[in-house]
Structure 1
Amino acid sequence: MPESSGSTTLSPLEIFERFRANVLAGEVGLTEDLLAEDVVIELPLSPPESPRYFKDRAQYTAFTTATRAALPVRFDEFRTIAVHQSADPEVIVAEYELSGTLSTTGKSETAAFVVVLTARDGRVVQWREYQDVSALVRALGPQEG
């Protein structure tokens, strides 16, 4: 049963669009209301020092809220390259690029992402994201001079 009452159930594409709008608004992309309580978030290409697996909504939102607050990045553009509907109506694969500027240095970078999003009852139950880690390292690394 959905956790929200009286509202229209969001499709996987609508969830992705909400994620996009949240990121561009400077907020956490996957807000608590978009996630099932037992959501599984996987980030298999994250750097070794970063978490790669979250087993529930509380664990993930605690991490992302703290991380977003500490990340001095303004996201300038979110470009959806393609959204592929799978044979399973609960699953989409989205390709996107995220461009941002590091507020401490003014350095800008664009990183590519691919996410496999599975939604049920209007909430994400699984999010598996592949990131262009080298672009993220370039953006957050030392300023070239």
Structure 2
Amino acid sequence: MSAPTSPADLYRHSLRLLLDKDIPAWVDLWAEDGLMEFPFAPDGWPRRLEGRAAVAEYMRHYPDHIDLHDFPALLIHQTADPETIVVEMRGVGRLVETDAPFDMTYIAVVTVQDGHITSYRDYWNPLAVSEPGTDFTGSNR
């Protein structure tokens, strides 16, 4: 079966890969020069990851820190640009180190070209970070 190419289908597929903790396959969905941005990132957190390699490094330890269980209430909105979608969702699970619940609300603007993510702006809520220095991904901030 070939990989999905519509932005909505590719995004749904990406969420399944995150739930399966298949970070290498998730990273493979990215264009070589894909850009991931976090416009609301607090000081000390990355605001911009340029290229698939930077995204891979950022996500490398994600399953070691967050055990995702579900993405309830997923809404995918089409835009005037057929390659761009706006996503509203919640990610729920647990923080591996403390076994505390993880429940984060996201809005993302995602662009897909030629079956790969070229741009991902992740508007996660920095107020949800419960303690200074908490790092959900294990990445080098």
Fold in common (TM above 0.5): yes
1:17-56 to 2 correspondences below 5 Å: 17-28=12-23, 31-56=26-51
Q: 1:69 to 1:99 in 2, by over 3 A?
A: closer
Cα distance in 2 for residues equivalent to 1:77 and 1:9: 20
Per the normalisation by structure 1, the TM-score is: 0.80
SS at match of 2:97: coil
Deviation at 1:30, TM superposition (A): 7.3
Aligned to 1:93: 86
- CA deviations 1:29-87 (Å, max 9, x no partner) are 9723211111111011122111110111111112211x31542x211221243111001
Gap regions ≥5 residues in structure 1: 1-5
Cα distance in 2 for residues equivalent to 1:19 and 1:120: 15
Cα distance in 2 for residues equivalent to 1:48 and 1:79: 29
Aligned to 2:114: 121
SS at match of 2:21: coil
Give RMSD over aligned pairs. 2.3
Q: 1:36 to 1:69 in 2, by over 3 A?
A: same
Q: 1:137 to 1:99 in 2, by over 3 A?
A: same
* Counterpart code for 1:98: G
* Counterpart code for 1:58: A
Query: Within the alignment, does 1:68 sit opposite 2:62 as a pair?
Result: yes
Cα distance in 2 for residues equivalent to 1:113 and 1:35: 19
Q: 1:30 to 1:8 in 2, by over 3 A?
A: closer
**Matched residues, percent identical?**
27
Contact 1:41/1:53 (<8 A) preserved: yes
Per the normalisation by structure 2, the TM-score is: 0.82
Gap regions ≥5 residues in structure 2: 135-141
Cα distance in 2 for residues equivalent to 1:89 and 1:8: 18
Query: Within the alignment, does 1:13 sit opposite 2:46 as a pair?
Result: no
Query: Within the alignment, does 1:112 sit opposite 2:99 as a pair?
Result: no
Cα distance in 2 for residues equivalent to 1:80 and 1:20: 13
Deviation at 1:27, TM superposition (A): 3.4
Deviation at 1:97, TM superposition (A): 0.2
Contact 1:43/1:129 (<8 A) preserved: yes
